[in-house]
Structure 1
Amino acid sequence: MAVRMSVEQPLWRALLAYRLLTAAYAVALYVHAYGHLRHPLPGGVYMALLAGWTLATIGRVRNAERCTRAFLAADLTVAVGGILLTRYVDTMERVESGAFTLPSIWTAGAVLAFAVKGGWRWAAAASSLVAAADLVERGSPSRDTLHNVILVWVASIAIGYVVEVARASERTLARALQIEAATRERERLARDIHDGVLQVLAMVQRRGNQAGGEAAELGRLAGEQEAALRTLISAAPPAPRPGAPGDGGPAAPDGPQDLRTLLAPHASPLVTLSAPGTPVLLAPHAAAELAAAVGAALDNVHQHAGERAHAWILVEDEPEAVLVTVRDDGPGIAEGRIVAAADEGRLGVAQSIRGRLRDLGGTAELLSVPGQGTEVELRLPRGPGEYRAPGAAESGAALTDADGRGRT
């Protein structure tokens, strides 16, 4: 089960520890000054109430949901009541000399609860009530009293402001993560659609136009649907679904996958596959996506270079990366055509190839010279502890493509 991110949760834990420690400290101060108090018995009753209240409300200061307004009001009442009761319990000499109040520094915990729960405005209101109680208890404001009042007031407001900023940052980050997840999902769907439906619609349109007659009308309709679908998958991402599981794709098989096995079906009289003699092992998802990017590159060869164009797939298993090169003998790509295609919603290169490699942490480079064919280089870095076939790094076997140019 996913745990909700919360930047304020450490503050609640710190507040809980502060309340427990300061309650024990207040009780210790009372015991130490017991013989000097004018009416120690009422003070003892209050200290018992303070200790019991602190222990009984441990669950209330674990998070913002449990820390209700009613609890905050009661908590502040305990603090202010203890401050005002001090004037009756203690002697006037000790009060005027700046002796501790009954709740002592435990009072700051009640104010900080307001700050963490409601921000700096709540903190300002609570600290102002505590300041008023301190001034009434002292009778006349002294330098030490004013110093303590201002310290609590400034500290609580500062913490409340920090909490508000942290909450706003948390919301912004959560929204950014949702947008990123939705964008990646849209790109994945766009790649799948491009690899399947759009390719079929484009083929139907092309074959229908070539056949003429009623088939031409069918081709026209297929072309309209292709254009509409490209516009749809190029639009802004949909709103993310809260708690949506994963990417919705099929479950990947367990264990490493041999990239050669996934690329083997592409081999044909017009497509030459050159690969190492040892398995090229990758994580299942990475192998599937890399093979899909190769398939998208071959689809572009068939569509733009012609059905009789030749293509060569070269797989290289390097120590730090897997490199796959797809080259054809077609007419090449005109300058600026890839950018224009992306603007038109044709995402074969932008998403099906580059998008896949980018999601895997790799790169896709395209080199095309008009009249001299096109070369797509897919590079997927290996992470620490990545799968490696025994002897793959040491094999050094030379690979030769259809033109006889050796590559090691």
Structure 2
Amino acid sequence: MAETSGLQTPLWRAIAVYRIAALVYVAVLVVRNVGAYERPIFAWPVLALTAAWTVFTTYAYAVPARRRPPLLVADLLVTMGVMASSAFIVGPQALTAGTPTLAVSWHVAPVIAWAVAGGRRWGIIAALAMGATDLAVRARYDQAAFTGTVLMLLAALAVGYLVGIAEVSQQRLERAIQLEAATRERERLARDIHDSVLQVLALVKRKGAHLDGEAGELARLAGEQEAALRTLVTGRVEPVDEHADVDLMMLLDPYASTTVSVAAPAGAVRMPSRAANEIAAAVAAALDNVTRHCDPGTKVWVLVEDEPESVTVSVRDEGCGIAPERLVEAESQGRLGVAQSIKGRIGDLAGTVRITSAPGQGTEVELTVPRASLG
């Protein structure tokens, strides 16, 4: 279980306080009942061990890095040992008469520690181990004997449930902080871009709209880039949670323009946010290659196919095409647009990339990601 130290810290402090209070209670009972023990002389060393272990665990659990299985297992075994010693020190006769064990109430502390460190499952394991030791020491199995074990199980369930809620709350708080920071940064960038780049592109579009030739083409491209950039800076911010489901088309639709057509299924293409962003980034890289290597105004089609087994996105253009040896040459020269931005991203999703092209016949980049890998 992930360590949510910020919200768990009060729980570990509460365990330390409980352990100290339980130690005081154990000491009072030993002083009061030592005369009824079969071997009272051994009660004092065990009480000293209990006090020393209480001091040790109080300081050990105070450091988050130490809250690991070795310490938790040692805590459970030491406590079980103290309880098991009751059979020898207190004696079966006194225990049957109702005399408490040497670990009475103190033995609940490691159960709670296991529940805080590992949730309900760990807490239940510790409660069952401690309960079995308690029943074995008492050597009787009436209703009163089982009550302690049931109470420990209930405590493990309650604390484990509380820890689960704390973990979810911590994750939601972190996502909210990240989303707020991303939103503020987006708004700041939007203001800066609006005051500079968008105004320049709008001016170029307006001044060159009536011109012919290359000047008119430049004005048209400026208009397209202005529309795409305006959509980008004013678009919806996707959730930071990489496991939250999003619609892939929300990320691909902004790429549509006068030269780029985006075709989508009738319904939403739902998938985890991380996978959707990786696919969208790969599509952006493919479109960028068209802009860089093809003539202005080259038509591009983005086709999305949502099938039960996989999601396929095809980026097809009617540009100049790519010779097969050019891809190998570009990768060897360190120009990794296709190798990393496209193949690398899709490969991380356990998907495949198929590039079909020939000089003068355009290029088709087909990205296929199996749904089984999207989790």
2:171 is aligned with 1:171: yes
Could you give the per-residue CA deviations for residues 157-197 of structure 1, whole angstroms, max 9, x where no partner exists?
22112211221232123223312321232122112211221
CA–CA distance in structure 2, aligned partners of residues 64 and 122 of structure 1: 17
CA–CA separation in structure 2 for the residues paired with 1:211 and 1:127? 82
For the pair 1:71 / 2:71, whether they are aligned, the reply is yes
- Partner residue, 1:396: none
**C-alpha distance after superposition, 1:244-290 (max 9, x if no partner):** xxxxxxxxxxxxxxxxxxxxxxxxxxxxxxxxxxxxxxxxxxxxxxx
Q: Is the 8 A contact 1:24 1:51 kept in 2?
A: no
Deviation at 1:7, TM superposition (A): 2.2
Moved more, 95-104 or 57-66: 57-66
Which of structure 1's runs of 4+ aligned residues deviate more than 6 A? none
Distance 1:146 1:214 in 2: 89
Q: Which residue is 2:119 aligned to? A: 119
Relative distance call for 1:142 and 1:214 in structure 2 (3 A) is closer
1:367-391 Cα shifts (integer Å, max 9, x gaps): xxxxxxxxxxxxxxxxxxxxxxxxx
Quote the Cα distance in structure 2 between the aligned partners of 1:94 and 1:69.
35
Cα shift at 1:143? 2.5
Q: Paired residue for 2:40?
A: 40
Corresponding residue of 1:196: 196
- What secondary structure, in the 3-state scheme, does the structure 2 residue paired with 1:6 have? helix
Pair 1:24-2:4 in alignment: no
Map residues 303-318 of structure 1 onto 2, 5 A cutoff. Answer: none
Q: Which residue identity is paired with 1:104?
A: V
Pick closer, same or farther for the CA change 1:152–1:239 going to 2, 3 Å: closer
What is the Cα deviation at residue 231 of structure 1? 3.3
Q: Give the TM-score taking structure 1 as reference length.
A: 0.54
Aligned twin of 2:314: none
In structure 2, do the counterparts of structure 1 residues 5 and 233 end up closer, same or farther at CA, with 3 Å as the change threshold? farther
Structure 1 residue 239, shift from structure 2 partner: 8.2
For 1:99, the equivalent position in structure 2 comes to 99
Determine the C-alpha separation between the residues in 1 that align with 2:161 and 2:5. 20
Contact 2:128 2:153 in 1 (8 A): yes
What residue number does 1:268 align with?
none
Q: Which residue of structure 2 lines up, in the alignment, with residue 181 of structure 1?
A: 181
1:314 aligned partner: none
Question: Following the alignment from structure 2 to structure 1, what is the Cα–Cα distance between the partners of residues 76 and 217?
Answer: 79
Separation of aligned partners in 1, 2:153 and 2:56: 27
What SS does the corresponding residue of 1:46 show, helix, strand or coil? Answer: helix
- Distance across 2 between alignment mates of 1:182 and 1:234: 13
**In 2, are the aligned partners of 1:98 and 1:144 still within 8 Å (CA)?**
no
Change (3 A) 1:5 1:106: closer
Amino acid at match of 2:117: K
Change (3 A) 1:108 1:20: same
Contact 2:124 2:157 in 1 (8 A): yes
* Whole-angstrom distance in 2 between the partners of 1:36 and 1:64: 42
Larger Rg: 1
Structure 2: runs of 5 or more not aligned: 241-253, 258-375
Residues in 1 aligned to 2:106 and 2:176: alpha-carbon distance in whole angstroms: 40
Q: Percent of counterpart pairs with the same letter?
A: 40
Deviation sequence 1:306-343 (CA, Å, 0-9, x none) = xxxxxxxxxxxxxxxxxxxxxxxxxxxxxxxxxxxx9x
2:358 is matched with: none
> Does structure 2 retain, via aligned residues, the 8 Å contact 1:79–1:103?
yes
Deviation at 1:123, TM superposition (A): 0.7
**What residue is the counterpart of 2:83 in the other structure?**
83
**Is the 2:5–2:64 Cα contact (8 Å) retained in structure 1?**
no
Match of 1:356 in 2: none
Counterparts in 2 of 1:381-396, with a 5 A limit? none
- Paired with 1:207 and 1:238, the residues of 2 have a C-alpha distance of 36
RMSD of aligned residue pairs (Cα, Å)? 2.7
Amino acid across the alignment from 1:106: W
Query: How does 1:259-338 map onto structure 2 within 5 Å?
Result: none
Q: CA deviation at 1:120?
A: 0.5
Written as runs of structure 1 = structure 2, the 5 A alignment for 1:40-59 is: 40-59=40-59
Residue in structure 2 matched with residue 134 of structure 1 by the alignment: 134
**Unaligned regions of 5+ residues in structure 1, if any?**
241-341, 346-408
Q: Which residue of 1 aligns with 2:60?
A: 60
- TM-score, structure 2 normalization: 0.59
Contact 1:9 1:63 in 2 (8 A): no
Shift of 1:42: 2.0
1:222 offset after TM fit, Å? Answer: 2.2
Report the CA distance between 1:126 and its aligned residue.
0.5
Shift of residue 211 of structure 1?
A: 6.1
- Partners of 2:35 and 2:206 in 1: how far apart? 102
Q: Would you say the 8 A contact 1:98–1:145 is kept in 2?
A: no
Letter in 2 for 1:192: D
1:406 maps to: none
